[in-house]
Amino acid sequence: MGNLTSWPTPPLEWTGHAGSIKSICYSPDGARVITGSSDKTIRIWDAESGTVIGEPLTVHTEEVNSVAYSPDGRHIISGSSDHTIRIWDAETTAEVGNPLEGHTDWVLSIAYSPDGQHIISGSSDHTIRIWDAENGTAVGNPLEGHTDWVRSVAYSPDGRYIISGSSDCTIQIWDMESCIAVGDPLEGHTDSVRSVAYSPDGRDIISGSTDCTIRIWDAETGTSVGNPLQGHTDWVLCLAYSPDGRHIISGSADYTIRIWDAENGTPVGNPLEGHTDWVRSVAYSPDGRHILSGAAHRTIRIWDAENGTAVGTPPEGHTDWVVAVACSPDGRHIISGSLDSTIRIWDAETGTVVGDPLDGHTGWVSSVAYSPDGRHIISGSADGTIRIWDAETGIAVGHPLEGHEGEVRSVAYSSNGRYIISGSEDGTIRIWDAETGTAVGHPLEGHARSVLSLAYSSDGRHIISGSKDRTIRIWDAGTRTKIGNPLEEHAGSVKSVAYSSDRQHTISDSDDGTSCVRDPFSYVPIPPCSCNPIYPGFYAKPDMGGWVRDSEGGLLYWVPHDIRTGLHSPALLTIPLTSRNRSVSLDFDDIAFGTSWTQIFNSAAS
């Protein structure tokens, strides 16, 4: 922890989703942020640091179009193109009850009533539904009247009314008690209404449309107030009021966010620029100091609401997800492979980028590794090739290694550095001469699906492979033949495999949430094979970067690279060394837990 005395500056862009950010929302206390995405998941973020908390919520089978917190912050709701609404426990992220089912098409918008007793939903089936938030049952019949998709719904601050915006170009006000439309539809937009909201005092309604304008309406009379707010050059996709009601923010398909004076409808300052795709969702922090925006290019940005400047440090390095990392043998450098098709080298001490990106692949880089002497780097890519790089200069060595008929998902060096192995989407493993780049013998065949992970034993005699077919296989590296039957311990894809340094055990990690240690030749698992408690109230699990995390995703401790392959239960407290009878036991008597690095540092120092 060194001399750290304050929380680090959050990143300029929060990344984690694999699809467009469709919806974004602060928790009532402003400590957390939730996002829903076209990647079918919901993510929870620390609002201060911009880091993801825990694992994504992954039950929906189609895009997540809308998310919201309950007024007390205890629950999260999500609406999806799978026609359902789901309720989640905000603390444990466990699903609460059964999905709310009744809509016959996409659920596009959801909201809690101010008292938290009801949920409303708008759908592309042209209806609005009201639900009992406690038991998930439908309240009354659907609200019908719109002739096209219901894009957005919201409650009035007193909970007496509901508003809905539709692709039929209208806004409708509904009486919550009687479920009857109040007055005629509000007409004025010339295209689909994409977003609606009440002012905090309930006196006004705002609407944003694909006609590129925002309109303000008198909530009591339904008449338009003033002229349309014009400035966006493309569709207005999302809107929100500031908590004090003085400002309106809007996000647009023109890639910008605008701030407006709610009293006179004039723009405040210049547009907020930085996103490189449609801004699909915007929100104010509960204290009104910050604005959050989520965009179609999978990123979230935070802005200072007072001056409109971006909050956080500019991104450095990759421009898309990092999906593979490895440490140099001397521990001085880290390499990373990304969906942006590049490899980057980092200084492990300072965290700064070393040199230019290693460019050459035409598909995302799925796996990277150092040679045992640290002189070379290898990378496997979705373009079906393996590349060798000079670790000092970053220059490609020779031609790409070609032979696989699908994406290359995993690469590794033999312990003596003479050979390279690669696993592919084509279900095969190939062995290559590291010096010449030529294939050695025929492909190793046996897996029925993608080979996701590979490793050599320390003596180079055996290879272990993990596959999407849920099996682990062991191979004779010399004869390139299978040894025994496949190991079938996991119920999900085997995404990581390794040998212990003494070759006495193998370890595998799976999408089913378990890790398993076994004797590779007796095929007997060494229990326990799943996560165990390491401290009262905490459950730990190692990730691919060597960090052991608690159940909330918090960092607990880091395992050095050279002994990481031996990490195993019980309780992740014992790490075996090269000798079968020696191990390091971790003493947690004086461990300090906290919600930030500052608290941990202060707690440990006191």
**Which pLDDT belongs to residue 66?**
96
Phi, psi of 356 (to 5 degrees): -85, 160
**Which pLDDT belongs to residue 558?**
60
Q: Are residues 66 and 157 in the same domain?
A: yes
In a domain, 564, yes or no: no
Domain of 171? Answer: 23-304
In a domain, 586, yes or no: no
**pLDDT tens digits, residue range 547-567?**
555 444 555 556 554 444 444
* pLDDT confidence band for 543 (50 / 70 / 90): very low
**Which pLDDT belongs to residue 301?**
85
Instruction: Say if residues 410 and 379 touch (Cβ distance below 8 Å).
Output: no
Average pLDDT over residues 80-84: 97
In a domain, 176, yes or no: yes
Please give the full DSSP string across 139-164, using - where no structure is assigned.
-SSPEE--SS-EEEEEE-TTSSEEEE
Instruction: Say if residues 389 and 395 touch (Cβ distance below 8 Å).
Output: yes
Measured torsion, CA atoms of residues 285, 290, 294, 299, in degrees rounded to the nearest 10: -120
Average pLDDT over residues 232-239: 95
Q: Are residues 395 and 275 in the same domain?
A: no
Q: Are residues 250 and 384 in the same domain?
A: no
Q: What CATH number is associated with residue 36?
A: 2.130.10.10
Decide if pLDDT at 179 tops 70: yes
Instruction: Say if residues 81 and 107 touch (Cβ distance below 8 Å).
Output: yes
Query: At 596, which amino acid appears?
Result: S
Instruction: Say if residues 262 and 245 touch (Cβ distance below 8 Å).
Output: yes
**Which pLDDT belongs to residue 548?**
57
Q: Are residues 215 and 341 in the same domain?
A: no
In a domain, 272, yes or no: yes
**pLDDT tens digits, residue range 448-463?**
999 999 999 888 899 9
High-pLDDT (> 70) share of the chain, %:
82
Question: Sheet containing 75-80: which strands, arranged edge to edge?
Answer: 64-69, 75-80, 84-89, 100-101
pTM for this prediction? 0.56
Q: Are residues 327 and 300 in the same domain?
A: no
Report angle CA 99, 103, 109 to the nearest 5 degrees: 85
**What is the rounded distance in angstroms from the CA atom of residue 497 to the CA atom of residue 447?**
15
Q: Are residues 100 and 214 in the same domain?
A: yes
Q: Are residues 270 and 384 in the same domain?
A: no
Query: At 304, which amino acid appears?
Result: D
Neighbours of 269 (CB within 10 A): 11
Mean pLDDT for the chain overall: 84
CA-based Rg of the chain, rounded to a whole angstrom?
27
Decide if pLDDT at 73 tops 50: yes
**pLDDT tens digits, residue range 267-324?**
999 999 988 889 988 999 888 989 989 887 777 888 999 988 888 755 557 777 777 8
Least confident of 36-40, 120-124, 159-163, 419-423: 36-40
Average pLDDT over residues 243-261: 95
**Which pLDDT belongs to residue 313?**
57
Average pLDDT over residues 379-404: 95
Q: Which residues pair with 420 in a beta bridge?
A: 413, 432
Q: Are residues 273 and 341 in the same domain?
A: no
**Which pLDDT belongs to residue 7?**
37
Q: Are residues 297 and 332 in the same domain?
A: no
Neighbours of 84 (CB within 10 A): 20
Closest C-alpha to 35, from 53, 49, 48: 53
Last residue of a domain, one of 259, 275, 304: 304
Instruction: Say if residues 172 and 215 touch (Cβ distance below 8 Å).
Output: no
Residue 600 is classified by DSSP as H
Q: Are residues 115 and 223 in the same domain?
A: yes
**Which pLDDT belongs to residue 229?**
96
Number of structural domains the chain divides into: 2
Instruction: Say if residues 483 and 462 touch (Cβ distance below 8 Å).
Output: yes
Least confident of 74-83, 174-183, 256-265, 328-337: 328-337
**Which pLDDT belongs to residue 8?**
42
Average pLDDT over residues 444-448: 95
Q: Are residues 286 and 343 in the same domain?
A: no
Q: Are residues 296 and 342 in the same domain?
A: no
Instruction: Say if residues 126 and 148 touch (Cβ distance below 8 Å).
Output: yes
Please give the full DSSP string across 56-103, using - where no structure is assigned.
EE---SS-EEEEEE-TTSSEEEEEETTSEEEEEETTT--B-SS-EE--
**pLDDT tens digits, residue range 118-154?**
999 999 999 999 999 999 999 999 999 999 999 999 9
In a domain, 14, yes or no: no
